[in-house]
Amino acid sequence: NIKSAELIKHASNAFLATKISFINALSRICDRVGADVKEVAQGMGLDNRIGRYFLHAGIGYGGSCFPKDIEAFISIADKLGYDFQILKAVRNTNDEQKKYVLQKIKDSLWIIKDKTIAVLGLAFKPNTDDLRNSSSIDLINALAQEGAKIKVYDPKAMEKAKRVLKDVTFCKNPYQAALNADCLIIATEWNEFKELDFRKLKKKLKRALIVDGRNIYDPKPLKKLGFTYVGIGRGNE
């Protein structure tokens, strides 16, 4: 019926956002016990009742749908007299994940002020130029408030980003962004970033530090090349 149909979209997006926040919360446990969240997610996904989709730890969800639909569903429930605590926890976990990643960067650099940080990825997900509720933009703004000098690159979202980001350096490619940077952050999982020439990248960086905010890399080969690798819930960093 019509009422059921109206709830389907809200319920579906809320459930997917819940999966993302769950795996992000789990990533923090993995960091504490030495487990790898990618292996944990793979094992969970083998259970057909759970499935592998949307079990990707990172810097939090964004976009035009999930944040808006979560807020709307919480509001609808409140008006109906139901305190939708699960969704409030999903929203709070997503907000806290951004702070968690920021703290990882702080722990790696010790002092953020006056450090040059390269951020690869501005759109909230790959294959789009959509910056709405982008976790990358939130992270950049937080780093800028700490006094960092920010250099950025995204394959599609650069023009839109120029309207919303101030006092950052926009670069033509990942290597230009990495030049003399103290830290390289992967904020969006573009395929282009998965295929970087890491030997070339290391020569560009002032410090061979990668914060993999989307867990797109295997830490072992990067460590062999001399990189310091920081992932999200990888445990074996």
Residues with catalytic function: 65
216, 193 Cβ separation under 8 angstroms = yes
Q: Among residues 117, 151, 121, which one has the least CA distance to residue 136? A: 121
Which residues does residue 229 pair with via DSSP β-bridges, in sequence order? 210
Q: Dump strand ranges (E) for 142-197.
A: 149-153, 169-170, 183-186
190, 121 Cβ separation under 8 angstroms = yes
Phi, psi for 28 (deg, rounded to 5): -70, -35
Tokens in use for 61?
A: 């969800």
Tokens in use for 110?
A: 């010790």
Q: Dump strand ranges (E) for 121-165.
A: 149-153
118-to-22, 102, 135, 150, 174 alpha-carbon distances in Å? 28, 14, 15, 6, 8
